Chains A and B, each alone.
Chain A
């Protein structure tokens, strides 16, 4: 497309011009460029995705047969604790922040983030947190009380809780939390104060909107988790008694402060995914997103309601007001439903191209829908009483965080990879990746619904050799291996594409949003010039500028 900026040959050398003799590694280690930091976020998070995925394969290997094969009880507890912790805190949350880092300033026409050095600080805390968390394997065993670390189990009562692993777990999560909070301050300030001329709030791309709402959630929820971690650290190491009933503390208090963060964190992990989908679907349906404002308000609604549902994780404690938290949880399905109508109506009568990014986006729609619906089941206390701590819950969390977040992350990878590198990933390998992952994912996790209804408890390394249980578990292990296998075509695709010499067009998808206006990859200063922005689809407007006439009566230029 001719509308994209010409490649600024002179400007391309500007980055080197500043200090021509610096080693590339030194450039990356000291960079404050949001694009380089974004790439480092993506690479670092994907590394931990691989580590946590390996732990999941170990879990499935142990569960392939009843009895103890590879891992004893304590090892198994460590495995699923580290798997959950790593996936949530070192993969899903940071990788979405990584997309935000790279894409948000480009989408709003900014030069960089508002606080570039704080941005670098946020990033560098993450690999440090990973190292702290995993150093526990060398220092006497990692945390083993589940990723939720419920007190009093995490208080050091009994042999298992005494490991240094839980202390390192606390330190690692304090680091991740601080990184998240600083990142949120950065995103909100950037989005409020650094938008390009004409980029009003209601012309922002939807990914930017979801990052804004996500950042508000992080800003207000994560510090509460920090306070919980600090109290647990004091209890464990300085003789405090916040969660210790023997000295007047309250064990359930931990669950309250933990979920006050960790429930909004579910939306932190899924809202940016919804934003990615909302940028991908219109491009490959050749239509604007149906109901832009409805989508924005639904996003804000999910964010607000997200603060009033945390105790639905605690129905069985007998310490929470069941009707209130149940009704609020049901309510949150409403704005989510609004979004589903947005997405489906966007595709209706569109000229749909099933590129790999689009496949993952549609995969997100179907898989997240299942995850959402079985969450609604759990919102009903009588059902929750029956299904809590069974594999139904494991199925639910994975349909939301894998079927939701991971599918969206891959949609984002395939969609924005040409922006990062100037080259599209291969479609054939991409589709192979999608189908392997889609089939493996459903084999593993759909059958967990059935296993949960059959009553198999989660977080136990051994199980009764019932015929139904064994068969389903073996089926799941096969599915898990298929998921692991599916990353091979993806990684091969990335390597082969990066080694290709030729380049794809600057805007290979004929996309609508501002990040595609500049070159791919963009220069250090992002834009040489900016187009006039009169709608939420500035590039669409440019492509069709000759077909437009000025209508002086039009008062709003935002989306319908």
Chain B
């Protein structure tokens, strides 16, 4: 048995140890981190659906359940989806080694992210004015927790893009070496997809 075990030599030993997964270490790390983030939001969504399925009416009637404006959230959705597109345009630019376009698209993506956050802050202030808060009932708890954690991720993503932007301005990325740009784009798309989930469950599925 030992003879057969050790005897056969590899046909392509050189290929075997060249990045076995075919994905760079930093990108793989990012993908795994995003997987864990998906499960985090999965827990929050699970709680939302469990509570909602047990409620007699949704949103629960009475004080503390303000009216959500779907059209307003749709505008925010458009802003965030657009920023995902501009982010990808930035990635494609650096793949062509176009550093100037990369800086431009990164700046636009970040500004769109900040615009989304400002829009969300305005919506929050309006809802709080109508008496809906984290502590005003289960609808407020779920709404502010889910959208709040998403907003925190948008803020984190915008900060990430800002760092990438500063590095891009000093010309640190090329068509060959731009893993960090790809990482930021993966993260930004993830944040965008979470929002699409939130928008459809909270605003559209009434």
A residues near B (Cβ < 8 Å) are 114-115, 118, 181, 184-186, 188-189, 192-200, 219-228, 230-231, 234-235, 238-242, 244, 247-250, 253, 256-257, 260, 288, 534-535, 537, 540-541, 544, 547-552, 554-557, 559-560
Contact = CB atoms under 8 A, between A and B. Distances in A.
B7 interface: yes
B43 to A, nearest CB: 3
Contact of B137 (A188, A200, A241, A559): A241
Interface in B47-66: 47, 50-51, 54-55, 60
A471 B42 CA distance: 49
B141 A241 contact: yes
Contacts of B42: 223-224, 227
A235 to B, nearest CB: 8
B171 interface: no
Given A222-B36, A548-B2, A240 B145 contact: yes
A141 B184 CA distance: 43
Secondary structure class of chain B's binding surface, majority of residues:
helix
18 contacts: A114-B28, A181-B36, A198-B16, A219-B36, A224-B42, A224-B43, A234-B134, A239-B134, A242-B142, A248-B55, A249-B51, A249-B138, A253-B51, A256-B50, A534-B7, A544-B2, A551-B8, A559-B5
Interface of B: 1-10, 13, 16-17, 19-21, 23-25, 28-29, 32-33, 35-44, 46-47, 50-51, 54-55, 60, 133-135, 137-139, 141-142, 145, 149
Nearest to B42: A224
A557 B29 contact: no
Contacts of B2: 535, 540-541, 544, 547-548
Contact of A226 (B3, B6, B40, B134): B40
Contact of B36 (A185, A198, A239, A544): A185
Contacts, number: 176
A195 B20 contact: yes
B5 A541 contact: yes
A534 B10 CA distance: 8
B129 to A, nearest CB: 18
B36 A220 contact: yes
Contacts of A184: 32, 36
Contact of A557 (B6, B41, B60): B6
Contacts of B142: 242
A119 to B, nearest CB: 12
Given A114-B29, A241-B137, A535 B50 contact: no
Contact of B43 (A194, A227, A559): A227
Interface centre among A227, A228, A253, A540 (most CB of B within 10 A): A227
Contact of A548 (B6, B39, B137): B6
A547 B3 CA distance: 8
Contacts of B9: 534, 550
Contact of B3 (A221, A224, A239, A548): A548
B78 to A, nearest CB: 28
A535 B43 contact: no
A240 B135 contact: yes
B109 to A, nearest CB: 25
Contacts of A242: 47, 51, 138, 141-142, 145
A223 to B, nearest CB: 4
